[in-house]
Amino acid sequence: MPSPGAGLLRYARLKAGLSQSELGKRAGVARTMVSAYEHDRRQATLPTLMRLLKAAGFELHMQLAPYDDHDDVLRELEQHRSPEERQRWEDYQRARVAKDRAAVSAALRARKTTKVPV
């Protein structure tokens, strides 16, 4: 499971239709660093994460909120799942990721073939 920063960065980059190289150039960060941030090999500082998100066309808004134990409850439920239930959930997630990747690929292909009048 990626860290929130890694997941957010990858999601923003894919949503913007950018490669790691393109995002890195826009933000003034090496492609290898973008990859390291997305794969949790390095942790971007908050200013760096915000600069990368801005380069992808997004802003990060944060606010202080009371603690929500939702994730704790889900984690507790997960610990009581049978191996079969876990496998079904993992299969579902893999299928969902594959579907999302296909949609992103189709959007990128459409973007490349769309001609903009000059």
Mean local confidence (pLDDT), 60-79: 90
Cβ atoms 102, 95 nearer than 8 A:
no
Q: Who contacts 92 (Cβ-Cβ below 8 Å, separation ≥6)?
A: none
Which fold, 1-62? Answer: 434 Repressor (Amino-terminal Domain) (1.10.260)
Backbone angles phi, psi at 53, to 5 degrees: -65, -40
| Domain boundary assignment for the chain | 1-62, 65-118
Give the pLDDT confidence of 5-36 residue by residue, as tens digits.
999 999 999 999 999 999 999 999 999 999 99
Average pLDDT of 79-83? Answer: 88
Alpha helices in the chain (DSSP H): 4-16, 20-27, 31-38, 46-55, 70-79, 83-113
Tokens (6 digits) for 69: 């134990």
* pTM confidence score: 0.58
Give the Cα separation of 13 and 2 in Å (integer).
15
CA 2 to each of CA 10, 41, 49, 90: distance values in angstroms, whole numbers, following the listed order:
10, 10, 15, 15
C-alpha Rg value of the chain to the nearest Å: 18
Which pLDDT score is estimated for 100? 92
